[in-house]
Amino acid sequence: MFKIREFSQLSQVSIKTLRYYDQLGLLKPASIDPCTGYRYYTTTQLFRLNRIIAFKELGFTLEQIMHLLDEQISIEQIRGMFRLKQAEIQALIEDEQTRLTRLEGRLRRIECEQEALPQHEIVLKAIEPQQVVSIRDKIPPPTLPLMLAELDQYLKRYGVVPSEKQPYLVLWHGCEECDDATDLEVARPITQCIPENERFHVQTLRAYQTVASILHRCPVQSVCSASIDLADWIEAHHYQIVDNQPRREVHLTQEDGALSIAEVQLPVKRIS
């Protein structure tokens, strides 16, 4: 029998950790002196402790290790836990590899631009579903503010008075047969019930697990040049744009009559 200090020296595990394992019920002392409260361990308990250490090195939590060491657990359950941990680690490796690829791309851009940081930062993010009221039409982009004004007038009719500081969305659907016009949709987020008709539509914009996003200043009445940077990034980082989905622009604030701070969002998927 070994006192806790001796057992700590043998196992190279701190006394604090051994006491914590005792509290969890993960490795309880073989006996405790009722008079002194000293904890005593046996040599055979080194095998259990070494297994705990090995499982920790594999990335299992202490709670998971308690299940793995449970005498009632079957070999099939142990195999399943190992497979889940394997999948978890593989996903982490893929995430880190993606991060490494993005870092390498940034480094190349910085080197090509003579150590200057890129003008726009591009990030991957998820977006939640959002209820909006919108107008969709085939129009020349310069007339987009007129559509927004029309939408705001409709909302005011039902007691909703949008502020210039409130975001609005523009969905660029594209139109191959429109010549000078573009299939555009302007939308305002809503939190209350608004009636709809042939001109004004209430809908829930779908969620996306992954969009490539870029925040920038852009002209209100034309296509943003930052979309070119976004397209270059998508191609360089081995993503592709999801088919048949509009490009979203979330106009966060309007600095003046000509420029707006906007976020462009493109739904993307990884190229396998």
> In CATH, what number is assigned to the domain containing residue 17?
1.10.1660.10
Question: What span, in angstroms and rounded, lies between the C-alpha atoms of 11 and 76?
Answer: 30
- Number of independent structural domains in the chain: 3
Judgement on whether residues 159 and 91 belong to the same structural domain of the protein: no
Question: What span, in angstroms and rounded, lies between the C-alpha atoms of 241 and 216?
Answer: 20
- The lowest-confidence range among 24-28, 29-33, 255-259 is 255-259
Res. 120: pLDDT tops 70: no
Res. 35: pLDDT tops 90: no
Judgement on whether residues 224 and 161 belong to the same structural domain of the protein: yes
Query: Mean pLDDT score of the chain, rounded to an integer?
Result: 84
Res. 133: pLDDT tops 60: yes
Over residues 134-160, mean pLDDT: 90
Judgement on whether residues 263 and 187 belong to the same structural domain of the protein: yes
Give the distance, in angstroms, between the CA of residue 210 and the centroid of all CA atoms in the same chain: 7
Question: What span, in angstroms and rounded, lies between the C-alpha atoms of 100 and 13?
Answer: 35
Res. 220: pLDDT tops 60: no
Query: Burial letters for 228-238: b for 16+ Cβ neighbours within 10 Å, e otherwise?
Result: ebbeebbeebe
Judgement on whether residues 27 and 57 belong to the same structural domain of the protein: yes
Nearest to 52 by CA among 76, 69, 37, 70: 69
Judgement on whether residues 176 and 249 belong to the same structural domain of the protein: yes
Res. 137: pLDDT tops 60: yes
Res. 42: pLDDT tops 60: yes
Query: Which of 46, 73, 100 is a domain's end point?
Result: 73
Percentage with pLDDT > 90 across the chain? 25
Domain span at residue 211?
A: 123-270
Looking at residue 142, what DSSP letter applies?
Answer: G
Over residues 98-107, mean pLDDT: 76
Judgement on whether residues 48 and 156 belong to the same structural domain of the protein: no
Judgement on whether residues 202 and 173 belong to the same structural domain of the protein: yes
99 or 197, greater pLDDT: 197
Judgement on whether residues 103 and 180 belong to the same structural domain of the protein: no
Over residues 105-123, mean pLDDT: 65
Judgement on whether residues 172 and 127 belong to the same structural domain of the protein: yes
Judgement on whether residues 135 and 114 belong to the same structural domain of the protein: no
At residue 108 the predicted structure's pLDDT band, cuts being 50, 70 and 90, is confident
Judgement on whether residues 132 and 265 belong to the same structural domain of the protein: yes
Res. 129: pLDDT tops 90: yes
Judgement on whether residues 16 and 105 belong to the same structural domain of the protein: no
